[in-house]
Chain A
Amino acid sequence: MNKLTKNQDLVLLAIWKLAGNAYIVSIRKYFKEITGETINAGSLCNTLTSLIKKGYIESKDSEPLASPGGRRKVLYFLTPAGKRALNHAYQTQRLIWSDFVKSGLL
């Protein structure tokens, strides 16, 4: 299984959380909410591209929106592989952090 960078991790998480309404604007908002930092739209594009390449998410065009100008937006969904990856990431993180907690450094 491929390792995920921190950004990919968080984006994946955001897509899961936003279930069905994950598109760039909402992902950026959520990201800001959790981390307090902004993620730039351009680099988010590249993160999404690599996640799509790995097969963790898929994109779907929405119906044309009513406003403004009848543009469409692109929504992202987790694939089963994506869910597994998220799960796996959680397990690893948990293991690492529990060691850290046990060591009494916290």
Chain B
Amino acid sequence: MSNPAFYEENMKKNKTTPPKCAQWILSRLSVFEKKFALSHVMDEEYAEIRSKHGNLRSWIWCWTFVLEIVYQYVKYSLSGSAGMLKNHVRTYLRTLFRHKVFSLINLFGFAFGMTCFILIFLYVRYETSYESFFEDSDRIYRVISQSPGNMYMGSDFYGVSPTPLAGTLSAEIPEIESASKTGFARDIWIGEKEQGFYARVLHADEEFLKLFSFKLIEGDRATALDGPDKILLSQEIAERYFRGENPVGQTILDTFTVTGVFENLPENSHFRFDCIVSFVNLFPVDSREETLADWDNTSFFTYVKLKEGSDSRRLGEKIGAIIKIHDEESKENIYFLQPLSKIHLNPHINFEYSQTTDMKYIYLFTSIAFLILIIASINYMNLSTARASLRAKEIGVRKVVGAQRTQLIRQFMTESVMLSGLALCLAMFFVWQLLPTFSSFVERNFQIGALFEWSMLAELGAIVLLIGLAAGLYPALFLSSFRPVSIIKGITARLAGKGRLRSVLVVFQFCMSVVLITSCFVVYKQMKYLRTKNLGFNRENIVIVRVTDPGVQKNLSAFKNELRNYAGVIGVAASNDYPTRIGSGFSGTYQDDTGAEVSFHTHWFSVDYDFLDLYEAKIIHGRNFSESFGTDSQEAVIVNETFVKQANWTNPLGKKISTNFREEAKVVGVIKDFNYHSLRLDIKPLIIHCDPDLAYHASVRIRGQNIPGTIAHIQNTYNKFMTTHPFEFRFLDDIYNQMYRGEQKLGILFGLFSIIAVSIACLGLFGMASHACERRTKEIGIRKVLGASISDILNILMREFTRLIAVANLAAWPIAYFIMNHWLNGFVYRTGIGVGIFLLSGTVTLLVAALTVSFHSVRTANANPSVSLRYE
């Protein structure tokens, strides 16, 4: 490179000026640039350093130079404005204390809004944090399937997959790092009769602990589940059962060796269990090999961990293809990989370890949280602009002595941010007080510490700034636009403006409130409908007693008879399931009208001879099961109306149905349709068998008097026969209501939110009304002198606000109708929305608003004109 021409050219190409971006940053610091001509300084020194040290060094130098200047610039500008900031704070505190009512209205409006917001925020953060504590949780998926046509509980998605799938996947698909299978969790009675307790047991294979990073306190992750008869306990269970002894190596439940202890599961996981047991223990010893290789048995969960960068969608199809090779029956199924973090937020998958949350509700609550914040911010905007005249003189003077508009804007923004900061403190206090109640309401365990995590505080800080700036922007622009000349001339009356924007904002506030109130009424109406709807059987005073205890099971008829003899008991019956829990997935063939065999899917249920009478279910054709026929428990079956409709039978009686349970059964009766699942779903075909030996639950109908005494009697009778499982009972009514717990909570939440929204909006209205009355004191005095009556004046004062509320109602109704209609569509059985609800919510808001406004109006209207006119 000794060629001088080349060197020169090279020099030209490599610019000797600093990077454009750095120059631009310097030019933005206008004060420094004007005073010190820093860009020239940079040019000169940059050129020198570049010629000495070359590209990289000069580049680094350039940016450190710029950074340092920026830092000093910030320091410089803060030292200049600190005095001003102090002045703003002082002025604002004075204003706050001088107008206490208005300050409190603004403060509490913000604080209520923020309290709601923080609570909802906590909830949403928690719900979306599920499974995040597992290492590599973003690479873990569950295999789920959709089997078109096979609907259960309103969805044809299933979380389960065949037994050998996990092993096959890790062997055949290279993208899968590991795969594990688990069984349903079930409760097992651990310990002696009295001191024992239920523990939830999960069956899992040896890959489970490698796939999921559970924290092991004792034991070896690699071998803990390797082989049969091994069990891991949670810390809590180990403590409770072994009371301080080292559990590892000990025997529990006769056959299991404890191989480890894991830290109690965090609550934000879809897994719920206390013990993990070797997977093979699910099956009897002699049939293990063959069951483990059985592709027909799809009642297990398969989790897979993918290698980094794998495409989960494509893999889902691949897995589907593999299953279809092995299992003919699942040909129509579609398979997917469901990300671990989405499991908790998808309620549409059948068979889960724990209750899920619908993402829809999370969106709903988040939007309500923001709505309430907006309503609170509108209060601030309206009150600050309506009461502009109070600050007018200050603004005028500031402008006359040379305040720039930007300075005034900064001042008012500082004020709103300060207020929202204060409100946050107050809101934190409210949240602290409300947290226990709220936690138990949403059934989550929130700790107050969660409020003070860094990320939470940062987000709250951001919210304070956001609200402060958003609510303060309009008042700041509005107030700073005043012309000092007109202020000093005394034209303050016109300062507040016509207030068209304020009216729009008030309408918006109340519109949102009305939407919430209406929604609340609709939810309540639907809940009432669900509670009182005739289900097709009598569910009053029925107690369901679990009879899975071996002792009770053996002596079931004695148990039933002994109960029947008690005065408080009307009847007893036994069945394998009870309404709300009746299972599906039962298949077989039936004979249609022409005698041809048709295969079917149906729900299925087994009862004893007394069951249908006890439940007062109506037989519309044929007869009930009866012991006197002698063969009913082998070959009789009762179907429901929907089944008949589906099978298209003209005469259902005597039709043959064959299933793997009953080779040859005949329809002896048709039962009137009854709702054996939630009212969200319509009634599905149902087959009822009679099998007095297949009994897991006893239904006892008791008399309405002395219920505790009757329950105690049932318990005593139970205890006579019991060997291991303690007495457990529930009221059928409770079980039914339990199904709608989500909706019930939604109703309560809507109620609360609408109360809060309305009270915040009314706080604002109160402020506006009191200001309007203050401003019109003289006008009203004159009107009274000229002969206006009190009712005339009230009319004048209230008309304005009432009109706004009426408009808000008209705007809100269609919105509420649209939303709630959508919600009701989730139920097959639903009430209509009806005009009554709209009128009711309209009346409620009008009344509340009128009351709020009248507080000041009545006082103003009653005031003695001689006093009000003397004022000034």
A contact residues vs B (CB 8 Å cutoff): 23-25, 28, 40-43, 45-46, 48-49, 59, 61, 65, 68-69, 71-74
Give the chain A neighbours of B37 by CB distance below 8 A: 23-24, 61, 71-74
Does any Cβ of A come within 8 Å of B17's Cβ? yes
Q: Which of A28, A40, A41, A49 contacts B35 (CB 8 A)?
A: A49
Give the chain A neighbours of B24 by CB distance below 8 A: none
Contact A68 B32, CB 8 Å, known A42-B69, A45-B69: no
Q: Which of A43, A59, A72 contacts B72 (CB 8 A)?
A: A43
A23 CA to B41 CA in the complex, in Å?
9
Give the chain A neighbours of B35 by CB distance below 8 A: 45, 48-49, 59, 74
- Is there contact, CB below 8 Å, between A24 and B72? no
Does any Cβ of A come within 8 Å of B331's Cβ? no
Does any Cβ of A come within 8 Å of B94's Cβ? no
Chain B min CB distance to A5 (Å): 15
- Is there contact, CB below 8 Å, between A41 and B69? yes
- Is there contact, CB below 8 Å, between A45 and B40? no
A102 CA to B68 CA in the complex, in Å?
43
Contact A48 B39, CB 8 Å, known A25-B45, A42-B73: no
- Chain B's closest residue to A67 (CB) is B43
Q: Which of A48, A68, A74 contacts B17 (CB 8 A)?
A: A68
- Is there contact, CB below 8 Å, between A65 and B40? yes
Interface residues of B in 196-241 (CB under 8 A from A): none
Give the chain B neighbours of A65 by CB distance below 8 A: 40
Give the chain A neighbours of B40 by CB distance below 8 A: 65, 71-73
Q: Which of B16, B36, B44 contacts A45 (CB 8 A)?
A: B36
Does any Cβ of A come within 8 Å of B38's Cβ? yes
Give the chain B neighbours of A28 by CB distance below 8 A: 45
Most buried by A among B35, B41, B42, B43: B41
Does any Cβ of A come within 8 Å of B65's Cβ? yes
- Is there contact, CB below 8 Å, between B39 and A41? no
Give the chain A neighbours of B44 by CB distance below 8 A: 25
Extra contacts, 7 of them, besides A40-B68, A49-B76 (Cβ < 8 A), are: A24-B37, A41-B42, A42-B68, A42-B71, A45-B69, A45-B73, A73-B37
Give the chain A neighbours of B16 by CB distance below 8 A: 68
Does any Cβ of A come within 8 Å of B20's Cβ? no
Give the chain B neighbours of A42 by CB distance below 8 A: 68-73
A49 CA to B73 CA in the complex, in Å?
11
Q: Which of A24, A68, A69, A71 contacts B36 (CB 8 A)?
A: A24
Secondary structure at the B interface, as helix, strand, loop or mixed, is helix
Give the chain A neighbours of B75 by CB distance below 8 A: 46
Interface residues of B in 12-62 (CB under 8 A from A): 16-17, 32, 35-45, 47
Contact A45 B43, CB 8 Å, known A68-B17, A72-B37, A73-B37: no
Chain B min CB distance to A43 (Å): 6
Chain B min CB distance to A38 (Å): 11
Most buried by A among B35, B65, B70, B75: B35
- Is there contact, CB below 8 Å, between B76 and A41? no
A23 CA to B36 CA in the complex, in Å?
8
- Is there contact, CB below 8 Å, between B76 and A68? no
Most buried by B among A23, A41, A49, A59: A41
Interface size grouping (class) on chain B: 20 to 34
Please name 7 pairs of A and B residues whose Cβ atoms are closer than 8 Å in the assembled complex, sorted by A.
A23-B37, A23-B41, A25-B45, A45-B36, A46-B76, A68-B43, A74-B37
- Is there contact, CB below 8 Å, between B39 and A71? yes
B contact residues vs A (CB 8 Å cutoff): 16-17, 32, 35-45, 47, 65, 68-73, 75-76
Chain A min CB distance to B121 (Å): 40
Contact A24 B41, CB 8 Å, known A49-B76, A68-B17, A74-B35: yes
- Chain B's closest residue to A47 (CB) is B72
A42 CA to B25 CA in the complex, in Å?
14
Q: Which of B36, B69, B76 contacts A74 (CB 8 A)?
A: B36
A43 CA to B75 CA in the complex, in Å?
10
Give the chain A neighbours of B41 by CB distance below 8 A: 23-25, 41, 73
A42 CA to B42 CA in the complex, in Å?
11
Contact A45 B76, CB 8 Å, known A25-B44, A68-B17: yes
A48 CA to B45 CA in the complex, in Å?
19
Chain A min CB distance to B499 (Å): 47
- Is there contact, CB below 8 Å, between B38 and A45? yes
- Chain B's closest residue to A74 (CB) is B37
A37 CA to B43 CA in the complex, in Å?
21
Give the chain A neighbours of B71 by CB distance below 8 A: 42
A43 CA to B76 CA in the complex, in Å?
10
- Chain A's closest residue to B39 (CB) is A71
Chain A min CB distance to B567 (Å): 94
A61 CA to B40 CA in the complex, in Å?
12
Chain B min CB distance to A39 (Å): 11
Give the chain A neighbours of B38 by CB distance below 8 A: 24, 41, 45
- Chain A's closest residue to B65 (CB) is A41
Give the chain A neighbours of B65 by CB distance below 8 A: 41
- Is there contact, CB below 8 Å, between A71 and B43? yes
Give the chain A neighbours of B36 by CB distance below 8 A: 24, 45, 48, 74
8 tightest Cβ-Cβ pairs between the two chains A and B: A42-B72, A42-B69, A71-B40, A42-B68, A74-B37, A24-B41, A40-B68, A73-B40
A48 CA to B41 CA in the complex, in Å?
15
Most buried by A among B38, B71, B72: B72
A25 CA to B72 CA in the complex, in Å?
17
Chain B min CB distance to A28 (Å): 8
- Is there contact, CB below 8 Å, between B72 and A46? yes
Most buried by B among A24, A45, A48, A72: A45
Give the chain A neighbours of B43 by CB distance below 8 A: 68-69, 71
A43 CA to B71 CA in the complex, in Å?
9
Give the chain A neighbours of B39 by CB distance below 8 A: 71
Chain B min CB distance to A40 (Å): 5
A41 CA to B41 CA in the complex, in Å?
9
- Chain B's closest residue to A52 (CB) is B35
- Chain A's closest residue to B47 (CB) is A68
A41 CA to B35 CA in the complex, in Å?
13
- Is there contact, CB below 8 Å, between B17 and A41? no
A43 CA to B65 CA in the complex, in Å?
11
- Chain A's closest residue to B74 (CB) is A42
Chain A min CB distance to B30 (Å): 13
Chain A min CB distance to B233 (Å): 63
Most buried by B among A42, A61, A68, A72: A42
A24 CA to B71 CA in the complex, in Å?
18
A72 CA to B71 CA in the complex, in Å?
24
Chain A min CB distance to B22 (Å): 13
A71 CA to B37 CA in the complex, in Å?
8
A49 CA to B72 CA in the complex, in Å?
12
Give the chain A neighbours of B17 by CB distance below 8 A: 68-69
- Is there contact, CB below 8 Å, between B45 and A45? no
A28 CA to B35 CA in the complex, in Å?
17
Give the chain B neighbours of A72 by CB distance below 8 A: 37, 40
Give the chain A neighbours of B32 by CB distance below 8 A: 45
Give the chain A neighbours of B72 by CB distance below 8 A: 40, 42-43, 45-46
A49 CA to B40 CA in the complex, in Å?
18
A28 CA to B32 CA in the complex, in Å?
17
A48 CA to B36 CA in the complex, in Å?
9
A72 CA to B43 CA in the complex, in Å?
11
- Chain A's closest residue to B64 (CB) is A40
A28 CA to B49 CA in the complex, in Å?
14
Give the chain B neighbours of A23 by CB distance below 8 A: 37, 41
Chain A min CB distance to B17 (Å): 6
A72 CA to B34 CA in the complex, in Å?
10
Chain B min CB distance to A75 (Å): 10
A29 CA to B71 CA in the complex, in Å?
22
- Chain A's closest residue to B44 (CB) is A25
Chain A min CB distance to B868 (Å): 55
A56 CA to B611 CA in the complex, in Å?
105
Most buried by B among A28, A65, A68: A68
- Chain A's closest residue to B38 (CB) is A41
